[in-house]
Amino acid sequence: MEGLAREDKDAIERIYRDNYNMIQSMVLNNSGSTDDAADIFQETMIVLFEKSKSPDFELNCHLKTYIYSVSRRLWLKKLQQMQRFTRQPEDLEQTVPVEEEIEMHEKRQSDFSMMETAMSKIGEPCKSLLEAYYIQKKQMQQIAADFGYTNADNAKTQKYKCLVRLKKLFFAQYKNGQ
């Protein structure tokens, strides 16, 4: 779990190895395909990751149980969206309530895609510039050198302009979505 928060690939791999088969059989037994299973597990991993990031996170059940609960809920949701009302069979595995996480996750997913759209709209070099500063957390001097600005202040002004545009695009969607 800690490894996950650090974005450690080994941790991800371990979780996959320990839990994937369980989720795959859950999805396959409930009118899903192997691809559905892969999607669901991936989404579950993202939920888990988001969860591991929050400071007040506490897992008061088995990780396996938690993963199963999240996947199960996500799959049910997906089935509902596909307008099939097959009833989930009685649970063989224990589950814990995960409604809050799923809701949170959906919110974050929509935020993510809004930001993605906004990012794709601002174009280059804005996109790379902002990514370099805000996501890769590079120093302004470094960025100025990388992008060929004569000094850090020029880069900063440019970054500021880009940021305002991105903000505008993002909030336009955000307010529409609300």
Three-class secondary structure of residue 123 per DSSP: coil
130 binding another protein? (CB under 8 A):
yes
Q: Return the number of other C-beta atoms located less than 10 Å from residue 120's C-beta.
A: 10
Query: 56, 58, 99, 124: which one contacts another protein (CB under 8 A)?
Result: 99
Query: 55, 58, 60, 87: which one contacts another protein (CB under 8 A)?
Result: 87
Q: Phi/psi at 175 (nearest 5 deg)?
A: -70, -35
103 binding another protein? (CB under 8 A):
yes
Per-position x/- string for 135-164, each x denoting binding to another protein as judged by CB under 8 A, each - no binding = xx--------------------x--x--xx
Angle at which helices 63-81 and 9-29 cross, to 10°: 50
17 binding another protein? (CB under 8 A):
yes
Nearest 10 degrees: CA dihedral of 117, 118, 123, 124? Answer: -100
Shortest CB 35 distance to another protein, Å: 6
7: alpha, beta or left? (left if phi > 0; alpha if psi -120 to 50):
left
Residue 147 burial class via C-beta count within 10 angstroms: exposed 0-12, middle 13-18, buried 19 and up: middle
Positions in the binding site for another protein (CB under 8 A): 7, 9, 12-13, 16-17, 20, 24, 31, 33-35, 38, 42, 45-46, 49-50, 53, 76, 80, 82-90, 97, 99-100, 102-103, 108, 111-112, 115-116, 119, 130-131, 134-136, 157, 160, 163-164, 167, 170-171
